[in-house]
Amino acid sequence: MKVLDRLLLNGPLAVKVLTSFIRDAVEMSGTAGVVVGLSGGVDSSLSAALAVRALGPEKVHGYLLPYRTSSPESEADARLVAEHLGMPHRVIDISPMIDAYFQTAIADEKDVEPGRRGNKMARERMTILFDQAKRRSSLVLGTSNKTEILLGYSTVFGDNASSLNPLGDLYKHQVWQLSRHLELPGQVVDKAPSADLWPGQTDEGELGFSYVLADEILCLLFDLGLSPAEIIERGYDERVVQRIVRLEQQFRFKRRLMLIARLSGSAVNLDQEIPRD
Amino acid sequence: MFPSEAMLASAPTMAEPRSTFTLGLAQIDCRLGDVDANLEKHLAWIERAREQGVDLLVFPELSLTGYRLLHLTSRVAMRADAPALRRLAEAAGTMSVLAGFVEASERGVLHNSSVLFGGTSGGGAPFIHRKLYLPTYGLFQEERFFRPGKRLDLAPLPWGRAGVLICEDLWHPELARRLAVAGAKLLLVVSAAPGRIGASEAPANHENWEILTRATSLLDTCWVVYCNRVGWEEGSFYAGGSHVVSPGGEVLTRAPFLDEHLLVTEIDLRDSDRVRWRLPLLEDERNDIEGPA
C-alpha cells in the first residue's frame, strides 16, 4: 500500500463529521456562527466551505485582510471563494496598523527582519478576527492543517490561534482531496500554497520540500510509528527526513500554549485537567 | 402410544418463560459532566421507548455523565442508591433499563459502571457491572480516574440471563466466552468509542467493532447487541452505528452513524439455542489441554 493511499478519506463521511463538529461547537457555545479569514488559499477556503455547509452561508462571515504588499491575485481568489460559497465578506486593509507599528512606534529599530513583519501581520489579522467575532457573537474558525501544525509552520497567537479548527487533523494532501470533493474553484485548489509573506513566496520553496513528500514522511513518523532511520531505509531523502524531524521537535511549543509553572497540587491543566466541553 | 393432546399443549409452552422481547438501543449524545441534563434525556427516551413497546432499553457507556470527564470524574460520582438513579428506576417501571454512570463504591473508589433496573433480581439492589478492563493508552486515561471491577456476573432479565460488557471488556474475548459458558444467550455491549475515519463509507473504528461483535456472536453462539453513543467531546466524536447481531453472526439491524437514534428490534433468546444445537462450540469447549510450555 502506497503511503499516500493511507491518507485517502471518504469524502461524504469526512464532510459529515467535520460539519457536525462545527455545528456542535457553535450550538454548545451558544454563539451565532463563525468568522473566518479568507486568504485565497486552499486551507481557509476549505474551512469556510465546511462552515457554510454546517451553518448556512449567512452565519459564516469572511474577512479579507490584505497588507499593501499582498498579492492582488490572493485577494481576487479570496473574493471568488466567498462569492462561490455565497457568504457575506468584507475587506479590512491592515496596512495602517502594521505601518503604525513598524514605521512610527518602533521607527528607531533598524534592520527589522522579514519574519517579524510576517508574524506581526498574522497576529494583526487574528486580533481583527477575534474582535469581529466578538461583534458578531461568533467563534473564530481556524484554518491550520496537520502538516503545518506538525512542522510548526505558523505564527503563535497568529494563524494558529482560533476557537475551533476543523482542519487540524488533516494533512495538506487530505485538504486538497476534500477541497476537490467539495468542488472548490480549481484555481484556488491547484495553485502553489503561499503564506503571501513577499511577492512570489511559496510554502514549499521556503520549507525546502514539497507538501506531498512532507505528508508521506509525517504519516510514516506519526501515524505508523516508524523511526527516521527506517524511513530513510525506505528510500526517502535523508536531508529532508532529518529536517522534518528537526522542525517537528523544534516547534513543539507552538502546539501546547500557556506553559504554567506548577507550584500547588492543583495546577490548571496539570493536576486539574478539566475538559473544556 | 401417542401422547395426549393435553400433554402436547402444555409441555413446551408452559414450562419455559417467554423468550421473546422488544429491545431498544438508545444511541444518544450526552452532556459532559451534566448529570441533570443527561437524566432528563434518559427519562424522555424511556417514555419514547415505552410508546414503541420496548421491554429492554440500553443506554451507552457512562450515559448519565458523558465519557471524557478527566478531573470531573469525582464530581459526578454517585452511589448506587443516589437520587438520580432512583428516579431512573422509577421511570423504568416494568421496563428493564441499562444505563452508565460513575459509581462511588463503598470502598471509596470509583468505577465505570452500568446499572440494570427492572431485572428480576427481586426487591434488592439493582444489577451492576463494573468495567473490568480500563483502557489507558492513546487518548484513553481511564486508570487515572477509575479502578477496575473484579467480578463477572450474569444479569437477570425477565427472559433469561444476559452478560453486560463495557467497551474495552469486549476486546478481551475470554469475558464473553465465560458469560456464554455460564448461560448467557445475550451480551449487552455498551460503549463510548471515539470515532476515526478513513477511505470507507463507515467510520474506520466501527469496522473493527463490527468484526468483534460478529466474531463474538459466532464463537459464543449468542446474541450480541452493541450500543454506542454519538456527539462530540473535546474535539473527538463518537460514531454511533449501534447494531444487533444474531447468534449466527449476522448484523440484523444497525443505527445510522453520527446521529441520535432509537433502534428497536425483536429478540428471541431461543435463537441462541437453535444455533447451539447445530453448532455446539460451547459444549465442545475443553479445559484439559496442556501447554504451551
- Residue ranges, chain A, pLDDT below 50: none
Counting residues of chain B whose pLDDT is more than 90, the rounded percentage is: 90
Per-residue model confidence (pLDDT) at position B121: 56
> Are A275 and B72 within 8 A, CB to CB?
yes
Per-residue model confidence (pLDDT) at position B1: 46
Task: Classify residue A64 as exposed, middle or buried by CB count within 10 Å of its CB (0-12, 13-18, 19+).
Answer: buried
pTM over 0.80: yes
Class of domain B21-278: alpha beta
Counting residues of chain B whose pLDDT is more than 70, the rounded percentage is: 92
Whether B29 has a pLDDT exceeding 70, the answer reads yes
> Are B201 and A17 within 8 A, CB to CB?
no
> Are A17 and B197 within 8 A, CB to CB?
yes
Q: Which residue has the higher pLDDT, B186 or B10?
A: B186
As a whole number of angstroms, the distance between CA A237 and CA A256 comes to 30
Break chain B into its structural domains and give their ranges. Answer: 21-278
As a whole number of angstroms, the distance between CA B252 and CA B264 comes to 11
Of A10, A20, A277, the CB nearest to B201: A10
User: Which residues in chain A have their CB less than 8 angstroms from residue B233's CB?
Assistant: 275, 277
Which residues 221-250 in chain A show a CB within 8 A of chain B?
Answer: none
As a whole number of angstroms, the distance between CA B90 and CA B74 comes to 25
**With respect to CATH, is domain A9-197 assigned 3.30.300.10?**
no
Per-residue model confidence (pLDDT) at position A274: 84
CB atoms within 10 A of CB B119: 19
User: Which residues in chain B have their CB less than 8 angstroms from residue A276's CB?
Assistant: 234
Binning pLDDT at 50, 70 and 90, where does residue B14 land? low
Whether B261 has a pLDDT exceeding 60, the answer reads yes
Mean pLDDT across the stretch B64-77?
96
Per-residue model confidence (pLDDT) at position B283: 94
Q: What is the pLDDT of residues A68-86, one digit of tens each?
A: 999 999 999 999 999 999 9
Whether B5 has a pLDDT exceeding 80, the answer reads no
The complex's ipTM works out to: 0.90
